[in-house]
């Protein structure tokens, strides 16, 4: 079974890329999904020889071809400076049995959002949601396409994989110290992130949607949730049946996103394109891949452009892992890779990791990706090696 592992560039550079590649090959790892564009982050790096933590604002971890870009330009990571970690890592991996994929959280950048408030997702109340750029905005689309082409043109990646190049939920995936003393629930998350920027409004209007009515309904739904008139576990589908104008508004985003993904695939030429599915939420509010339509993702339509779909099946219960993989296989017409979180809070033993992997394989996963090289202890890396040694 083909197995990849996600890695942040600082861990590979600090250890020495060639040495890291040899260590990974010995564990049975075939590919590294290397972060090239990453949201703001603090990582704990248990086995990094140079540092035990790394802080960064949302950044690119390579030297871009600046001439390609328009209004929105990459943010080269300050710690990397004038170096090019991608070039350094690609040189270290050359001649080893481990291939490289690019991993990018394309539109999840609070730094870009603060610099381009007109290009962010915009709540039904008109708030700029700075953690996410809106995929309907032409400048954002141009940035995404050029960034993808820039990475493809480096000729070092088998696959350019991305996540969060879609319409994110209202709380995004966290931003600094959020003070949310209210449980939005699935409906609240969906409605608060439903973007009413001018471009999303124009697209919906062109599709024949009553935009003002949709916005009023979205605001009223959120206010009802804030004030407890709607429960946190209100069924989103049921609510949308009663508010078809909101459904039509959300549905108009599908075509925009599918076309954009077609452009990503196009600019990549012979390099493969992959996308990650993790729809967010915690505990009872967790949303699996079947909720991807809330992000504007049309899995069937996207399949013509995707060479691989990765489902981030992060759950301590292996039956949920199995369901995530199974559902993804039923929704997309592309090979499915199962993302397994090989550390806390999901996996605390070799036996647990084995259960997770076996659940994914049983459900028909075509390949695996483990999270993640520098952020789990060496002990967990050994578990990965042990489990891979016994999986066909």
The nearest distance, CB 267 to Zn ion, in angstroms, is 22
Upstream peptide bond of 372 is cis (omega within 30 degrees of 0) = yes
Q: Which DSSP string do the residues of 245-309 spell out, in sequence order? A: HHHHHHHTHHHHHHHHHHHHHHHHTTSEEEEEE-----GGG---GGGGGGGT--HHHHTTT-SEE
Helix (H) or strand (E) holding 151: helix 138-152
Q: Give the span between the Cα atoms of 178 and 193, in whole angstroms.
A: 15
Helix (H) or strand (E) holding 237: helix 236-242
CB 171 within 8 A of CB 183: no
Between 162 and 257, whose beta carbon lies closer to Zn ion? 257
Between 13 and 197, whose beta carbon lies closer to Zn ion? 197
The nearest distance, CB 296 to Zn ion, in angstroms, is 10
Between 196 and 383, whose beta carbon lies closer to Zn ion? 196
Q: Are strands 99-105 and 31-38 parallel, antiparallel or unpaired?
A: parallel
The nearest distance, CB 328 to Zn ion, in angstroms, is 26
CB 339 within 8 A of CB 314: yes
Between 133 and 240, whose beta carbon lies closer to Zn ion? 133
The nearest distance, CB 226 to Zn ion, in angstroms, is 22
Between 126 and 174, whose beta carbon lies closer to Zn ion? 126
Binding site for Zn ion (CB under 5 A): 134, 136, 195, 197, 200
The tally of CA atoms less than 13 A away on the side-chain side of residue 115 is 13
Between 102 and 136, whose beta carbon lies closer to Zn ion? 136
Q: Give the span between the Cα atoms of 228 and 83, in whole angstroms.
A: 52
Between 135 and 372, whose beta carbon lies closer to Zn ion? 135
The nearest distance, CB 199 to Zn ion, in angstroms, is 5
Q: Kindly state the tokens that stand for 320.
A: 């949920």
The nearest distance, CB 256 to Zn ion, in angstroms, is 9
CB 289 within 8 A of CB 328: yes
The nearest distance, CB 197 to Zn ion, in angstroms, is 3
Between 167 and 370, whose beta carbon lies closer to Zn ion? 167
The nearest distance, CB 200 to Zn ion, in angstroms, is 3
CB 34 within 8 A of CB 101: yes
């Amino acid at each position: 079974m083909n197995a990849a592992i996600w890695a942040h560039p600082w861990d590979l550079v600090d250890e020495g890329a060639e040495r890291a590649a040899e260590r990974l090959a010995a564990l049975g790892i075939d590919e590294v999904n290397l972060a090239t564009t990453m949201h703001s982050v603090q990582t704990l790096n248990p086995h990094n020889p140079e540092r035990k933590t790394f802080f960064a604002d949302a950044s690119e971890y390579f030297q871009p071809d600046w001439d390609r870009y328009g209004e929105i330009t990459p943010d080269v990571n300050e710690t990397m400076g004038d170096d090019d970690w991608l070039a350094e890592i690609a040189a270290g991996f050359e001649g080893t049995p481990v291939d490289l994929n690019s991993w990018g959280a394309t539109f999840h950048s609070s730094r870009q959002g603060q610099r381009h408030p007109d290009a962010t997702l915009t709540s039904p109340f008109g708030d700029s949601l700075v953690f996410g750029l809106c995929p309907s905005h032409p400048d954002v689309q141009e940035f995404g396409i050029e960034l993808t082409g820039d990475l493809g043109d480096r000729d070092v990646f088998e696959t350019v994989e991305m996540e969060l190049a879609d319409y994110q939920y209202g709380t995004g995936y966290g931003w600094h110290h959020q003070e949310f003393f209210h449980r939005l629930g699935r409906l609240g998350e969906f409605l608060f992130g439903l973007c009413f920027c001018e471009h999303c409004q124009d697209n919906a209007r062109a599709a024949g949607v009553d935009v003002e009515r949709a916005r009023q309904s979205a605001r009223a739904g959120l206010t009802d949730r804030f004030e407890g008139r709607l429960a946190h576990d209100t069924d989103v589908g049921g609510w949308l049946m009663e508010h078809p104008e909101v459904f039509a508004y959300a549905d108009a985003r599908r075509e925009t996103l599918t076309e954009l993904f077609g452009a990503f695939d196009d600019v990549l030429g012979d390099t493969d394109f992959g996308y990650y599915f993790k729809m967010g939420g915690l505990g009872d509010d967790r949303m699996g891949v079947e909720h991807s339509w809330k992000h504007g993702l049309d899995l069937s339509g996207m399949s013509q452009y995707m060479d691989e779909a990765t489902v981030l099946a992060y759950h301590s219960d292996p039956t949920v892992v199995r369901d995530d993989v199974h559902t993804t296989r039923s929704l997309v017409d592309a090979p499915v890779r199962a993302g397994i979180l090989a550390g806390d809070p999901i996996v605390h033993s070799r036996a647990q990791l084995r259960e997770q992997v076996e659940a994914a394989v049983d459900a028909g996963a075509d390949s695996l990706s483990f999270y993640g090289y520098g952020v789990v202890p060496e002990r967990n890396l050994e578990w990965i090696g042990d489990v891979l040694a016994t999986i066909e």
